[in-house]
Chains A and B, each alone.
Chain A
Amino acid sequence: QKEVEQDPGPLSVPEGAIVSLNCTYSNSAFQYFMWYRQYSRKGPELLMYTYSSGNKEDGRFTAQVDKSSKYISLFIRDSQPSDSATYLCAMSAGGTSYGKLTFGQGTILTVHP
């Protein structure tokens, strides 16, 4: 079983929809939680960064972390065709886990006009 599980989709939604992306994890040492967006033939781009449990909002994006359930989510409001990409959750235990992020498999999202 992978440490981080993410539904690969693909997920297809109409423009303007609210998108919900989720990951579950098994390692209770994880305390830093991130969401990256990756366009085709590009490197991952950091979208959201959260430490420990709680919510964080940035524009149309909201990240939620529930450490008690080992569950994280990313919500995209008013989705746009330019949001079409692969979304990757990533986690780190911090401390001496220098540079090491554990990624989910990624969810392929398509937003159609």
Chain B
Amino acid sequence: KAGVTQTPRYLIKTRGQQVTLSCSPISGHRSVSWYQQTPGQGLQFLFEYFSETQRNKGNFPGRFSGRQFSNSRSEMNVSTLELGDSALYLCASSFGLGGLSTNEKLFFGSGTQLSVL
């Protein structure tokens, strides 16, 4: 069974540009979550999508946005890039069905390493 796939693996951008990252979840998973990982702040939750709807959102500015398609694939967009946006962006997928069973088990991709110059 294929894991979570993120593309591209590496990106270099300059300040003020925008960037789009892509994530394909594990087959059968309908929930996709996005995280930012930096040495200083660690892993921080950005947002979660399920059936093309954002269900949960972290404390990031509006420059960070996302969407999900009908096949559960998701994209994350960052506009007007700042130097501080340099980070590893991780996508995670799960069944997202709620309840007390397996919905909280998140499986992560290898991430997209974004460098902003």
Contact surface of A with B, Cβ cutoff 8 Å: 32, 34, 36, 41-46, 49, 51, 88, 90, 92, 94-106
Instruction: Give me 5 A-to-B residue pairs in the complex whose CB atoms sit less than 8 angstroms apart, sorted by A's number.
Output: A44-B90, A51-B100, A98-B56, A100-B48, A100-B58
B55 touches A103 (CB 8 A): no
How many residue pairs link A and B with beta carbons under 8 A? The number is 74
Q: In the assembly, what is the distance between CA of A42 and CA of B9, in Å?
A: 10
Among residues of B, the one whose C-beta sits closest to the C-beta of A45 is B108
Contact surface of B with A, Cβ cutoff 8 Å: 4, 6, 31-33, 42-45, 47-48, 50, 55-56, 58, 90, 92, 94, 96, 98, 100, 104-111, 113
A99 touches B106 (CB 8 A): yes
A99 touches B33 (CB 8 A): yes
B43 touches A99 (CB 8 A): no
B111 touches A101 (CB 8 A): no
Q: Using known A-B contacts A99-B48, A100-B33, A100-B45, determine if residue A92 contacts B56 with beta carbons closer than 8 Å.
A: no
A98 touches B55 (CB 8 A): yes
**For residue B104, which residues in chain A have a CB less than 8 angstroms away from its CB?**
32, 34, 49, 92, 94, 101
Q: In the assembly, what is the distance between CA of A95 and CA of B103, in Å?
A: 10
B48 touches A98 (CB 8 A): yes
**For residue B111, which residues in chain A have a CB less than 8 angstroms away from its CB?**
42-43
Q: Using known A-B contacts A99-B31, A100-B56, determine if residue A43 contacts B42 with beta carbons closer than 8 Å.
A: no
**For residue A102, which residues in chain B have a CB less than 8 angstroms away from its CB?**
45
